[in-house]
Chains A and B, each alone.
Chain A
Amino acid sequence: MSAVGRKRVLRTEARWVRWVLISLAVGLTIFFIVLPLAAVFIQAFDKGWAVWQAAVTEENARKAIFLSLMVTGIAVPLNVVFGLAAAWAITRFQFKGRNLLLTLIDIPFGVSPVVSGLIFVLVFGAQGWLGPWLADRDIQIIFAVPGIVLATVFVTFPFVARELIPLMQSQGSEEEEAAIVLGATAWQMFRRVTLPNIKWGLLYGVVLCTARSLGEFGAVSVVSGHIRGLTNTIPLHVEILYNEYNYTAAFAVASLLSVVAVVTLLLKKVLEWKTREART
Chain B
Amino acid sequence: MQLHFKRPGILPGFWPAYCYSVLYLTLIVLIPLSAVFLKTATAGWTKMWHTISSPRVVAAYEVSFGASLAAALASVVIGFVIAWALERYEFPGKSIVDALVDIPFALPTAVAGISLTSLYAPSGWLGRYLEPLGIKVAFTPLGITVALVFIGLPFVVRSVQPVLEDADHEVEEAASSLGAGRWQVFWRVLFPAFRPALLTGFALAFARGLGEYGSVVFISGNLPMKTEIAPLLIIAKLEEYDYAGAAAIATAMLVASFLMLLLINIVQGRSRRFMETKLS
B106 A32 Cβ-Cβ under 8 A = no
A235 B35 Cβ-Cβ under 8 A = no
With contact pairs A22-B85, A93-B14 given, residues A115 and B253 touching in the complex (Cβ less than 8 Å): yes
B32 A257 Cβ-Cβ under 8 A = no
8 Å CB contact of A242 from B14, B114, B207, B238: B114
B107 A82 Cβ-Cβ under 8 A = no
8 Å CB contact of A29 from B28, B97, B176: B97
Would you call A201 an interface residue if the criterion is a C-beta within 8 Å of the partner chain's C-beta atoms? no
8 Å CB contact of A36 from B30, B31, B115, B241: B115
Q: Which of A92-122 contact B (CB under 8 A)?
A: 92-96, 101, 104-105, 107-108, 110-115, 118-122
Residues of B within 8 A of A216 (CB): 108
Would you call A123 an interface residue if the criterion is a C-beta within 8 Å of the partner chain's C-beta atoms? yes
Residues of B within 8 A of A153 (CB): 28
B269 CB to nearest chain A CB (Å): 16
Q: Which of A222-280 contact B (CB under 8 A)?
A: 222, 235-236, 238-239, 242, 247, 250-251, 254, 257-258, 260-262, 264-265, 268-269
| CA distance in complex: A121, B97 (Å) | 41
Interface residues of A (CB under 8 A from B): 7, 10-14, 17-18, 21-22, 24-26, 28-29, 32-37, 39-40, 43, 78, 81-82, 84-86, 88-89, 92-96, 101, 104-105, 107-108, 110-115, 118-123, 125-129, 150, 153-154, 157, 173, 176-177, 180-181, 186, 189, 211, 214-218, 221-222, 235-236, 238-239, 242, 247, 250-251, 254, 257-258, 260-262, 264-265, 268-269
Interface residues of B (CB under 8 A from A): 4-7, 9-14, 16-18, 20-22, 24-25, 28-33, 35-36, 39, 78, 81-82, 84-86, 88-89, 91, 93, 97, 99-104, 106-112, 114-116, 118-119, 125, 149-150, 153-154, 169, 172-173, 176-177, 182, 207, 210-214, 218, 231-232, 234-235, 238, 241, 243, 246-247, 250, 253-254, 257-258, 261
A37-B103, A235-B214 are known; give 5 further A-B pairs, CB within 8 A.
Answer: A21-B89, A86-B17, A94-B6, A123-B35, A238-B110
